[in-house]
Amino acid sequence: MTANRLHPAVPPNERDRPLRLAVLISGSGSNLQALIDASQRGDAPFEVGLVISNRADALGLERAARAGIPTQTLSHRGFETRAGYDAALAELLSEAAPGLIALAGFMRILTPGFVEHWQGRMLNIHPSLLPSYRGLHTHQRVLAAGDPVHGATVHFVTAELDGGPAILQARVPVLADDDPDRLAARVLKQEHHIYPLATRWFAEGRLALSSDGRTQLDGKPLDSPVIITADTA
């Protein structure tokens, strides 16, 4: 049997150390902050080298500036097509040449060509236990369905919206008195734990996407994501 080709093509031991991240945001940037905080711990194998926002008023831009990280705003207004926007985004990214792109609340659908170029080198975090509840308003939808458990997923990005292979999930119990904001806050707290953790795995060369579209952790395919179950705090 031939081994599956892995993305990225650059073997971990030949990559820059630390791995340089570009983080794409649209809003508050609390996940960006979690990545910055993790990168500033002594033994971190990654650093945030660039933050790009499609909104000039994103609070995450201030977080990046406070940490001395270069920022770029690329507004989607003024672009007639998604492809046009993504071409401009690709240009910004190719100048920065990051080893990994982390989507952190970047609320834009990316074109298949853009995603294909970065496949295996682009992660996203989504506030649900994928494949359940892709898209928006996940917390309201979980409460409306009466689900006992909710959570968040870190996954590789593929052309399918919120559909790429999952890596790591945090499960969060839904409580009797939850409303969307309370539930979202508890899920977000877990997001801040699992996103830096999965990023660390990638930066350490432990995590990859094989050409057959499966997540590989420590050289073995993951049939299901690694799961962390949070308490009710």
| Strand, coil or helix: 41 | coil
Structure tokens at 44: 């971190």
Tokens 């003024």, residue?
A: 78
Among 49, 127, 164, 196, contact with ligand GAR (rule: CB under 6 A) = 127
Burial of residue 21 (CB within 10 Å: 0-12, 13-18, 19+) is: buried
Are the C-beta atoms of 154 and 167 separated by less than 8 Å? yes
Binding mask 34-73 for ligand GAR (x = CB under 6 A): --------------------------x-------------
Among 35, 50, 122, 188, contact with ligand GAR (rule: CB under 6 A) = 188
Handedness of CA 215, 217, 220, 226 (dihedral sign): negative
Q: Does 27 bind ligand GAR (CB under 6 A)?
A: yes
Q: Report d(CA 134, CA 217) in Å as an integer.
A: 24
Tokens 């910004």, residue?
A: 92
Q: Does 99 bind ligand GAR (CB under 6 A)?
A: no
Q: Phi/psi zone of residue 218: left (φ > 0), alpha (ψ -120 to 50 degrees), beta?
A: left
Question: Closest separation between CB of residue 14 and ligand GAR, Å?
Answer: 31
- 126 catalytic per annotation: yes
Tell me which stretch binds ligand GAR (CB under 6 A): 37-45, 120-128, 142-150, 218-226. 120-128
Q: Which residue's beta carbon is nearest to the bound ligand GAR?
A: 105
Question: Closest separation between CB of residue 33 and ligand GAR, Å?
Answer: 8
Q: For residues 200 and 216, which CB has a smaller minimum distance to ligand GAR in the complex?
A: 200
- Contacts with ligand GAR by CB under 6 A lie at 25, 27-31, 60, 104-105, 125-127, 152, 162, 188, 191
